Amino acid sequence: MFKPLLQKVIGAWHIRTFPDCTPKGHIEHMEKEIQELKKAFEAEDIEMIKEEASDLLIMLMAIAYRLDFNINLEAYVKFSQLRNRFWCFPNEYGVIEHVRVPGIGVKPVYLRDQKPGPFTHSDPDGMPSDRAIMNGRLY
């Protein structure tokens, strides 16, 4: 299977350097790195953010190499799916998830049923919107 050059280099190095690494070990280490990334965002330290985000990307590439899949291709396929989903507005934690309707697939969310407030999404003219978002467009 074709793998991007960077994934090959990182994966081969990872196997030589950490031959006994397990999937559980990867996950535990990634959780630690995610906490460090959160701290970097809280500190608004762009250099630290770049470092911690790179750590996570390197670990993902190592996992993909060990499991023999092309992470770039898989990310492209997943992104194609994401582009065709409807998206909710941020919850109280700022998390934006896609709309889930069991057994039906996705349906548009026409209006937020939360109290009015500042929105993070805007129309092309920059005005706040309370409409659904699909394929980067507001409906």
56 and 117 both lie in a single domain: no
Residue with tokens 């109280």: 92
129-138: per-residue pLDDT in tens? 444 444 444 4
State pLDDT tens for residues 56-100.
999 999 999 999 999 999 999 888 888 877 778 888 888 888 777
Question: pTM for the full model?
Answer: 0.67
Q: Which two tokens stand for residue 119?
A: 């929105």
pLDDT tens for each residue of 108-118: 444 444 333 33
The pLDDT score that the predictor gives to residue 112 is 44
In this structure, are 63 and 89 located in the same domain? no
Q: Would residue 66 count as lying in a domain?
A: yes
Write the CA distances from 31 to 35, 36, 71, integer angstroms. 6, 9, 19
pLDDT > 90: what percent of the chain? 48
Residue 138 lies in a domain: no
Alpha-helical (H) ranges within 22-125 are 23-42, 46-66, 71-82
Q: How many other CB atoms are there within 10 angstroms of residue 131's CB atom?
A: 17
Q: Specify the CATH number for the domain of residue 24.
A: 1.10.287.1080
Mean pLDDT across the chain, nearest whole number?
77
Residue 124 binned pLDDT confidence (cut-offs 50, 70, 90): very low
- Could you list the residue range(s) of the whole structural domain that residue 17 is in? 5-80
Closest CA to 72 of 9, 131, 118, 7: 7
**Which of 75, 84, 82 is CA-nearest to residue 4?**
75
Evaluate the CA torsion angle 88, 122, 80, 107 in order and state its sign.
positive
Q: Are residues 73 and 16 in the same domain?
A: yes
Which pLDDT value is given to residue 121?
42
**pLDDT value, residue 133:** 47
